[in-house]
Copies of this chain bind each other. A is one copy, B any other.
Amino acid sequence: MTDIHHRIGIESSSTADAYSALTTIDGLAGWWTTDTSGDAGMGGKIEFRFPPGGFDMEVIELVADERVVWRVVDGPPEWVGTRIVWRLSSNDGFTIVLFSHEGWAEPVEFLSHCSTKWAVYLLSLKAMLETGTGSPSPDDLAISDWH
């Protein structure tokens, strides 16, 4: 099993703001993909869509202002069954977002791409909370031939 890990710190924000950006459809649409729909509450299913396809996530854990966990229930075969874990905390005036995408079967090249792409989207989340404007798909930063 292989995991992707990231960490960002957000200024002028709070764990409540970050939690809202991860647990509301409007919040998620502001930094990951504008084409987000579904139910972001406990047990709900969220549908994230991008020009080439998308992911369906089941919300399997919610601890207010602290922790969000999704399980991938549909999408690329490498993603199905993996889990996305968000841990929120405060440190020194920053809201810390500790992110992991856990349970990849193999460290395939697509994992490497997704790792870099997650970093780009986390910086979009940071920008949204700091400035009011993120860069969600389809206006996300292209990093390669795989977009």
Task: Report which A residues bind B (CB closer than 8 A).
Answer: 2-9, 91-94, 96, 98-100, 107, 109, 111-113, 115-116, 119-120, 122-123, 126, 141, 143-146
Contacts and interface: CB of A to CB of B under 8 A. Distances in A.
Nearest to A141: B123
Give chain A's interface secondary structure class.
mixed
User: Can you tell how many copies of this chain the complex includes?
Assistant: 2
Contacts of A93: 145
A86 to B, nearest CB: 12
A123 B109 contact: no
A89 to B, nearest CB: 10
B99 A7 contact: no
A96 B120 CA distance: 17
